[in-house]
Amino acid sequence: MKVLVVGGSGFLGAELVRQAAAAGWVTAATYCSSRPAAGPGVSWHRLDLREPERIEEVVAAAAPRAVVDVTSGDADWAVTADGSARVAAAAARHGCRLVHVSSDAVFSGSRVHYDETCLPDPVTPYGAAKAAAETAVRILAPDAAVVRAYLADRRARPVGP
């Protein structure tokens, strides 16, 4: 398996990169500001998701069968929403399977239980950007898997703008 982890230098991305390489997968990963320590079997690519042509270059160079998008630009719409849309479009153009990692921040927290049929109702700029990214991914790469990560400690923090 050949995989590209977009956002490979982040918390979740670094673990995915580690596990993919340990499983013997040909692994490529991206970073934006500081390059992670080199690990065996991983090729690193600098990538700023605000640069559409660079996204195309990285996907073409890595030539993966699957792209896992675990990026987070926090409330930066150009990275979190637009960047994920650009990754989805590039993955679709290159015939890659896409896994887009979203967040439970797409929900307000007003309900006790959420499932995949619940419509997003974000209350933060980050949640709104993640919800927009999900919509773009579903349109641009209809076969993509959209995964919403649940952060258990979010309950301890106030929800709201």
Considering the chain, what is the average pLDDT of its residues? Answer: 90
Show the low-confidence residues of the chain (pLDDT under 50). 154-161
pTM of the model: 0.89
pLDDT at res. 34: 75
Rounded to 5 degrees, φ, ψ at 12 are -70, -45
> In this structure, which topology does domain 2-156 adopt according to CATH?
Rossmann fold (3.40.50)
pLDDT at res. 151: 61
**Alpha-carbon torsion 56, 62, 64, 66, what sign?**
negative
For residues 110 and 108, give the distance between their C-alpha atoms in angstroms, rounded to a whole number: 5
Distance of CA 161 to the CA centre of its chain: 23
For residues 17 and 4, give the distance between their C-alpha atoms in angstroms, rounded to a whole number: 9
Q: For the chain, which residues make up each domain, given as ranges? A: 2-156
- Tell me the pLDDT tens digit for each residue of 75-113: 999 999 999 999 999 999 999 999 999 999 999 989 888
